Chains A and B, each alone.
Chain A
C-alpha cells in the first residue's frame, strides 16, 4: 500500500511539469523539462553547456524527470534533483557538477541554506536529508534531518535569517523547524506548525526580511488559497482565496473540485507583490501585500492573451523586476514531441505600472534564449492545452488522497484471508 503505486497512476505521475529558476543576479536563466537541464547566459547571450564528471561510469546528467531546481542565494550554487533518485550540485560559475548525491527515494523538493553550506532535499516518503558541502571527505553522504510521517513533502525553504527550515507536505501541514548549528545530528526542535490549509500545500515563499521584523511566510495550496503566516508562532495572519477572487471559482462551490490548485508562488518587488500561478488560470494573479496590516489582496489578474499558457513554474529576477514563467511537460503521450516547454516574461511588475507580457522579440536573450530553453522557437498551441491538463491530472493523482467509495472498499476486502466475512 505504501510502497507500491498502481501502474496507471504511475504513468500519469510520470508527467512532470517544466521548471524555471533565475540566478540571483539575473544573468542566468535555468529551465528543467523532463530530465533535461537547459541554461542560458544573458551576459554573453549564449547557451551554457554543462559538464558532469561527478561520478565515474556513465551516470552523467539526470536520467529521469527533474522535480526541483534552485539557485543558491549567494549565486554560487545550483541544484537539480528528481525522479532518478539523485541530487546534483553544480557550480553556478563554471557549470561543472560538483557533486552527485544518491537518494533512496525520488526527490520532491530541494533547498540551499543561505550561507551556501548545506543542501537539503526531501523525498516522497516524507524524509528530509541534509548534505554538508564543507565536508572534506569525498563521500558526502546525506544524513536525515527530519521527517513528516509518511507524507509527500512538496516544498522546502530556509528562512531568510537561516534560523529555520520550513517543510510543507501533502497532508496540509507546514512545519517550521529550528535549523541547528550542526544539522548533521538532525533538526529536532520544532518551532511551530502552520496549520490551516484544507488541502495539500504546494509551494512556499518568504516575504523578504526587510519588510517585516519577523519572517513571514506565504504558502499556496490545493485549497485554492494563498496564506500568510508568522512562522515563530505558527499563527495564520491572512488567507486570500485567490481562485475565488480571480473569478475562477464560485465562493460557495462545495463540489470536490480540485482544478484550481495554486501551483507556484513568487515574491516580486521586494515582497510587496506576489505572483501566483493557478492550475486553471492562463496567466497569473498578482497579490499585493500590505505590510502594516499584514494582509493580502488581489491587485491584478494578468491574463496571457492568445496562447494557452498555464504557468507551471514562476521565477523572479530581482535586479530587472521581471517575472519569468515557464509552462511545459516532460512528455505528452500521443504526441510526437519528447517534451514541451514555453517561456514567457512579464515586465513592469510594479504597484503603479501595468504589467506587460513581453513578446518573443522583446524577451531578454531573444530568439536564442527561447531556442535554448524551449528546445525550439516555435510552439504548437494545441499541444499546450493538452499539456496543462496532463500536469493537472498528475498533480491531483500525486497529492490528493483517493476517496474510495464504500462498495469499492468492501469489494477490495473480499480477498482478505484473515477473517471470515459474513456471507
Chain B
C-alpha cells in the first residue's frame, strides 16, 4: 500500500498515483527481447486477473465475454479511462511496452476502481510488445476496435520498419479485428499520418470510414482529446492527422 508523506508515490488527496514517480523515456525499443510474461495463446489470457468483477474465479464460467477494444501503446491510460465510462459493459485492454508506464496505468486503474465503486472494472493493462505478441492475446476476429494514438514516428528511414502501423503488421491487426471492426489512428506528425493512411489505403482488408460515419462515432472525438499526448498537442495548437478504417471481408475487396 502507498506510504504517506510528501514523497509518497500516491497522492493523498486524489488517491491516484503520482506521475513523477513513474517517469519513463518516451521511446522504447520494440526490437529488444524484453522479459515479460507472454500468454502461450489467447485461451491462456487470465481474465480473472484483469477483470475480477466480471470473472470472480480463474475458471471462466462466462467465456462468451471477451476483450473487445485494444489500445495499442496506451501510454498513461487516458483513452482507456475515457472509453471505460462510454462503454461500461465492454471489456478493454491497454498494451504498453514500457515497464514503469504500464505499472502506472495498473495503479491508476486500481485507484479509480476503489474511488468509484462499480466503475472502471472493464479496463486493464498488460505490459507487452504488441508488434510481436498480438496473436498471443487475441483470437481471430475478437476485437471490434483497435486504437493507435500518437505512435512513435521513428523518423529515420532505416527505422521505418519499427513503426507500429506497417503493411505487414496490418495483416495481424486485420486477423484479430472482426469484419466491421474499426482501427483508429492519430498522430501530430504529418509524415507519419501520411504513412499510416497510405498503409491502410493500400491494404486489401481495410476501407475508410465516411465523413458521416466519423461524425457519428463517439470514439473518434476522444482521439485528440482523451490522452495526455493529445492534450499536449492541443495546448501547443498543433495539428493532428487521423485515419480511421474499417476491417472488411476478403471477398469485398476490389482486386
Contacts and interface: CB of A to CB of B under 8 A. Distances in A.
Interface of A: 1-2, 127, 144, 146-147, 149-151, 171-173, 175, 177-178, 182, 185-190, 192-193, 195-196, 198, 234, 401-403, 418-419
A150 B32 CA distance: 10
Nearest to B255: A182
Given A2-B31, A190-B175, A150 B135 contact: no
Which 7 pairs from chain A and chain B are nearest by CB? A147-B168, A195-B41, A190-B175, A193-B135, A2-B31, A401-B33, A188-B171
Given A173-B135, A190-B174, A195-B136, A146 B168 contact: yes
A189 B205 contact: yes
Given A2-B31, A149-B131, A151-B132, A195 B171 contact: no
A149 B171 contact: no
Contacts of A419: 25
Interface of B: 25, 29-33, 35, 40-42, 131-132, 135-136, 140, 167-172, 174-175, 203-205, 250, 255
Contacts of B35: 403
B31 A188 contact: no
B135 A171 contact: no
A79 to B, nearest CB: 23
8 contacts: A144-B167, A150-B132, A175-B135, A186-B167, A189-B174, A190-B175, A193-B135, A403-B35
Nearest to B205: A188
Given A188-B174, A401-B33, A149 B135 contact: no
A402 B32 CA distance: 11
Nearest to A236: B41
Given A147-B171, A188-B205, A402-B33, 16 more contacts: A1-B31, A147-B169, A149-B131, A149-B132, A171-B132, A182-B255, A187-B171, A188-B171, A188-B203, A189-B205, A190-B172, A195-B40, A195-B136, A196-B41, A198-B40, A401-B33
Nearest to B164: A149
Contacts of B204: 185, 188
Interface of A is mostly: loop
A172 B140 CA distance: 18
B29 A1 contact: yes
Given A188-B171, A190-B174, A195 B33 contact: no
Nearest to B133: A171
Contact of A192 (B31, B140, B167, B172): B140
A416 to B, nearest CB: 11
Contacts, number: 66
Contacts of A192: 140
A178 B250 CA distance: 11
B136 A150 contact: no
B31 A150 contact: yes
A337 B35 CA distance: 41
Contacts of B255: 182, 185
A186 B136 CA distance: 23
B135 A195 contact: yes
Given A146-B171, A189-B205, A192-B140, A1 B32 contact: yes
Given A182-B255, A186-B167, A188-B174, A196 B40 contact: yes
A310 B57 CA distance: 48
A225 to B, nearest CB: 13
Tell me which of A146, A150, A186, A403 has the highest count of chain B C-beta atoms within 10 A of its own C-beta: A150
Given A1-B32, A151-B132, A401-B33, A189 B250 contact: yes
Nearest to B129: A149
Contacts of A195: 40-42, 135-136
Contacts of B175: 190, 193
Nearest to A177: B171
Contacts of A402: 33
Contacts of A182: 255
A203 to B, nearest CB: 20
A388 to B, nearest CB: 28
Contacts of A177: 171
B10 to A, nearest CB: 22
Contacts of A178: 250
B40 A149 contact: no
A190 B172 CA distance: 7
Tell me which of A2, A127, A402 has the highest count of chain B C-beta atoms within 10 A of its own C-beta: A2
B140 to A, nearest CB: 7
B205 A149 contact: no
B43 to A, nearest CB: 9
A334 B140 CA distance: 51
A2 B33 CA distance: 10
A193 B203 CA distance: 20
A287 B32 CA distance: 38
Contacts of B205: 188-189
A8 to B, nearest CB: 18
Contacts of A234: 140
A149 B25 CA distance: 23
B37 to A, nearest CB: 12
Contacts of A403: 35
B68 to A, nearest CB: 19
A418 B132 CA distance: 27
Nearest to B169: A149
A151 B204 CA distance: 24
A192 B176 CA distance: 10
A195 B30 CA distance: 21
Tell me which of A198, A234, A403 has the highest count of chain B C-beta atoms within 10 A of its own C-beta: A234
B98 to A, nearest CB: 14
Contacts of B135: 173, 175, 193, 195
